[in-house]
Amino acid sequence: MNKNMKKEIKRGLVPYVFMFLIILGVLYFVNVLNQNIHNLTYNQFMTELSSGEVKEITVTTRDSAQIYEVEGTLKKYKKDESFYVRLPKSEQVMKKIVDYSEAQEFKMTAKPDPESSALLIVLVNVLPFVVLIGLAFFFFNRQMAGNKSSLDFGKSKARLSDDKNKVTFKDVAGLKEEKEEVAELIDFLKNPKKFQKLGARIPKGVLLVGPPGTGKTLLAKSVAGEANVPFYFISGSDFVELFVGVGASRVRDMFQQAKRNAPCLIFIDEIDAVGRQRGTGLGGGHDEREQTLNQLLTEMDGFGANEGIIIIAATNRPDVLDPALLRPGRFDRQVTVNLPDVRGREEILAVHAKNKKLADGITLSNLAKRTPGFSGADLENLLNEAALLAVRRNKDKITMSEIDEATDRVLMGPAKASHKYSENDRKLVAYHEAGHAVIGLKLDNANDVQKVTIIPRGAAGGYNMMVPSEEKMCSTKTDLLEEITGLLGGRTAEEITFGEITTGAHNDFEKATKIARAMVTEYGMSDLGPLQFEQQEGSVFLGRDYNKSQHFSNEVANEIDMEMRKIINDCHKKATEIIKANKDLLKKMADISQQIADIQENQRLDKLQQKEKDKRTRRWIWVIISIVVVLVTLLLLQIFPNITNYMRKGIQIIGGLGGFWGFCNLGLNIWSKFKSH
Task: Give CA–CA dist 633/476, Å, rounded.
Answer: 85
Task: Give CA–CA dist 68/62, Å, rounded.
Answer: 6
Number of H helices, E strands in the chain: 22, 15
- Residue 403 burial by Cβ neighbours in a 10 Å radius (0-12, 13-18, 19+): buried
Q: Which of 109, 126, 12 is nearest to 55 (CA)?
A: 109
Task: Give CA–CA dist 174/352, Å, rounded.
Answer: 12
Evaluate whether 337 touches 214 at the Cβ level (below 8 Å).
Answer: yes
What angle in degrees, to the nearest 10, is found between the helix axes of 287-300 and 246-260?
20
Task: Give CA–CA dist 276/252, Å, rounded.
Answer: 19
- DSSP letters along 323-383, please? HHHHSTTTS-EEEE-----HHHHHHHHHHHTTTS-BPTT--HHHHHHT-TT--HHHHHHHH
Task: Give CA–CA dist 586/578, Å, rounded.
Answer: 10
Q: Which of 661, 677, 592 is nearest to 625 (CA)?
A: 661
Q: Which one of 48, 433, 482, 483 is the catalytic residue? A: 433
What angle in degrees, to the nearest 10, is found between the helix axes of 583-639 and 645-676?
160
DSSP 3-state of 397: coil
Task: Give CA–CA dist 172/181, Å, rounded.
Answer: 14
Number of residues in the chain: 677
Task: Give CA–CA dist 224/221, Å, rounded.
Answer: 5
Task: Give CA–CA dist 401/242, Å, rounded.
Answer: 52
Q: State yes or no: cis peptide before 263, omega within 30 of 0.
A: yes
Q: Judge whether 433 counts as a catalytic residue.
A: yes
Neighbours of 325 (CB within 10 A): 24
Cross-strand pairs, 37: 82
Residues 6 or more apart from 540 whose CB is under 8 A from it? Answer: 280, 319, 320
Q: Where do the DSSP E strands lie in 591-677?
A: none
- H-assigned helices in 69-117: 91-104
Q: Which of 241, 382, 233 is nearest to 312 (CA)?
A: 233
Whole-number Cα distances in Å, 129 to 121, 123, 445, 535: 13, 10, 86, 77
Torsion sign (Cα): 549, 552, 558, 562: negative
Evaluate whether 40 touches 85 at the Cβ level (below 8 Å).
Answer: yes
The catalytic residues are 433
